[in-house]
Amino acid sequence: MVNTLSKPEPSEMRDGIKSPAAETILTPRFYTTDFDEMAKMDLSINEDEMQAILDEFKIDYNKTHFVRDDRFEKSWDHIDGEKRKLFIEFLERSCTAEFSGFLLYKEISRRIKDKNPMLAECFNLISRDEARHAGFLNKAMSDFNLSLDLGFLTKSRSYTFFKPKFILYATYLSEKIGYWRYITIYRHLEQNPDDCIYPIFEFFENWCQDENRHGDFFDALMRSQPDILKDWKARLWCRFFLLSVFATMYLNDLNRSDFYAMLGLNAREYDKEVIEKTNDTAGRVFPIVLDVNHPDFYRRLETCVANGEKLRAVDASNASKPVKTLKKLPAFISNAIQFLNLYLLKPIPTAQLEGTIR
């Protein structure tokens, strides 16, 4: 499906510094948590695995990976018009998401370092990786004569508070889905080099290994706190986070299908592949996974995609604000019904699969 609603020109808050995109329910979020509760996490039952992961972080496999070379040293003016807008939006969203990870991990590390030094060191080293990722993306934006003021973003964005266990569910999933997103694009472009319109994608192979290691760290950390994975509440929350992460990505990506088309990818097929792989991976640690092959799963997500198009059409109209709100109401109600029904789809228990290689 082609997205026919045109996007506004990127606006600048000062010369060459892009105004951050408006926050919506679908934009990358910034998080904060209960640092005292985080500091009290006792890692002893999974200490060996945590130590092995820390040792691996210290090796720093990608120390020299994120270096811009002559592949970047040319004009990118041929990526113009709508393509350019989509490309800048991709870089901004990715940079914001990586930077959000950096801020959260760095702050956790700083706040717990006296009480829980080993955990603090792990968080410090993953924040090092995220800072590199965000910095590399921000430099890529400069190839399009823009950049993000990350200091301004730090101060101006609102922060969502999650208790530590919810931070673990959410960050685990975002790291693993990040891994599958990057590696799926990389493998596609490896097979179809003519679709590689910009060299940043060539960095995704090593880059995604950082995200995979980060995901493995959160996997090990959750295992060190088995209470957050075992009871009926854990099953309900894991369902909620899986669905939220998958639905958000699906709605975001289908709204930007023209961007994926630029890379020769079909956004629907790409997302379905990433969702299936991430769901499978999550079965290694979560007590349940979603039944993503149930016919209702994508049928209901597609209804949400269609609702999203209706909402954007109302937003683009000249109607007054109260009229717009009224016109949007049926789509909002429908989205809530779809989400509730998706949440109620019977999940697949993974108890028998825990600890196995999938």
Question: Measured from the CB atom, is 214 or 284 closer to Fe ion?
Answer: 214
**Distance separating alpha carbons of residues 258 and 145, to the nearest angstrom:** 22
Question: Measured from the CB atom, is 98 or 271 closer to Fe ion?
Answer: 98
Residue from 98, 143, 219, 271 binding Fe ion (CB under 5 A) = 98
- Rule CB under 5 A: is residue 133 a binding residue for Fe ion? yes
Task: With contacts defined by CB under 5 A, name the span among 84-92, 148-156, 188-196, 209-217 that binds Fe ion.
Answer: 209-217
Q: Least separation, in Å, of the C-beta of 318 and Fe ion?
A: 41
Task: With contacts defined by CB under 5 A, name the span among 79-87, 191-199, 203-211, 235-243 that binds Fe ion.
Answer: 203-211
Q: Least separation, in Å, of the C-beta of 5 and Fe ion?
A: 30
Residue from 29, 214, 268, 300 binding Fe ion (CB under 5 A) = 214
Q: Least separation, in Å, of the C-beta of 105 and Fe ion?
A: 8
Nearest to 282 by CA among 187, 180, 207: 180
Contact 235, 172 (CB under 8 A): no
Task: With contacts defined by CB under 5 A, name the span among 102-110, 167-175, 222-230, 300-308 that binds Fe ion.
Answer: 167-175
Q: Least separation, in Å, of the C-beta of 301 and Fe ion?
A: 25
- Rule CB under 5 A: is residue 219 a binding residue for Fe ion? no
Question: Measured from the CB atom, is 38 or 137 closer to Fe ion?
Answer: 137
- Rule CB under 5 A: is residue 211 a binding residue for Fe ion? yes
Long-range contacts of 215-220 (CB under 8 A, 24+ apart): 215/172, 215/175, 215/176, 215/178, 215/179, 215/281, 216/53, 217/50, 217/53, 217/57, 217/122, 217/126, 218/168, 218/171, 218/172, 218/175, 219/172, 219/284, 219/285, 220/46, 220/49, 220/50, 220/53
Site string for Fe ion, 223-262 (x = CB under 5 A): ----------------------------------------
- Rule CB under 5 A: is residue 143 a binding residue for Fe ion? no
**What are the backbone angles phi and psi of residue 287, rounded to the nearest 5°?**
-70, -20
Looking up tokens 């996490």, which residue turns up? 41
Question: Measured from the CB atom, is 176 or 188 closer to Fe ion?
Answer: 176
**What are the backbone angles phi and psi of residue 256, rounded to the nearest 5°?**
-120, 35
Q: Is 276 exposed, middle or buried (0-12, 13-18, 19+ CB in 10 A)?
A: middle
Task: With contacts defined by CB under 5 A, name the span among 48-56, 123-131, 225-233, 298-306 that binds Fe ion.
Answer: 123-131
**CA 285 remoteness from chain centre:** 19
Cβ partners under 8 Å of residue 81, min gap 6: none
Question: Measured from the CB atom, is 126 or 251 closer to Fe ion?
Answer: 126
Count residues binding Fe ion (CB under 5 A): 6
Q: Could you list the residues that contact Fe ion (CB under 5 A)?
A: 98, 130, 133, 175, 211, 214
